[in-house]
Structure 1
Amino acid sequence: MRRVQASDAKTHLPQLLSEVERGETIVITRHGRAIARLVPDTDQRQDRLRHIKEQIATFRRSVPALGAEDVLSARHEGHKY
């Protein structure tokens, strides 16, 4: 949890909102005392995570299953020894 002075919050609000959107909680202070807290919207975050999980599941169904040998071979492909 990050603490930011009110004057700095006013100047950097777009950046702070981006941080909150990524899940960070920001405490805004005035004269060293906490006066406000910016927290992520959990409903929106949950919806976004659910959508991302669905995209990952769809992608995983669209690619062939790989064995350990295939993964190791792909990892070493292009390496110069």
Structure 2
Amino acid sequence: MSTKMVDVHEAQINLQELLFLVRGGTEIVLTEGSTPLARLVPIASSIPRRIAGLHDGGIWTSDDFDQPLPEEFWTGEE
């Protein structure tokens, strides 16, 4: 990824052009004088795919997880 330094005042005037460059993979560093202030980079558009079975055995479910809870749970009695 290439990088381009742009002064903040210039960026306000040429925002559309800078966004076009960012979409193309150019990193834009916004500066005030010679001081870097911010960075414009493209947002990753792809969401990583989930892989079934990746952590097989990492969690478990008890045999009675879907059974009704005892009345004491709802009333707070012990």
In the alignment, which of 29, 32, 37 is matched to residue 30 of structure 1? 32
State the partner residue of 1:11. 13
CA distance in 2, matches of 1:29, 1:17: 16
Q: What amino acid is aligned across from residue 10 of structure 2 in structure 1? A: D
Query: What does the per-residue CA deviation read over 1:44-80, in whole Å, with 9 as the maximum and x for residues that have no partner?
Result: xx48xxxxxxxxxxxxxxxxxxxxxxxxxxxxxxxxx
Q: What amino acid is aligned across from residue 28 of structure 1 in structure 2? A: L
CA distance in 2, matches of 1:34, 1:20: 17
Structure 1 outlier segments of 4+, above 4 Å: none
Structure 2 unaligned blocks of 5 or more = 48-78
Instruction: Name the SS of the counterpart of 1:36 in structure 2.
Output: strand
Q: How well do the aligned residues superpose, as a CA RMSD in angstroms?
A: 1.3
* Larger Cα-atom Rg: 2
Question: Structure 2 length as normaliser, TM-score?
Answer: 0.54
CA distance in 1, matches of 2:25, 2:44: 9
Q: CA deviation at 1:12?
A: 0.2
CA distance in 2, matches of 1:2, 1:9: 11
State the partner residue of 1:2. 4
Structure 1 unaligned blocks of 5 or more = 48-81
**Number of residue-to-residue matches in the alignment:** 45
Q: What amino acid is aligned across from residue 16 of structure 1 in structure 2? A: L
Q: CA deviation at 1:31?
A: 1.8
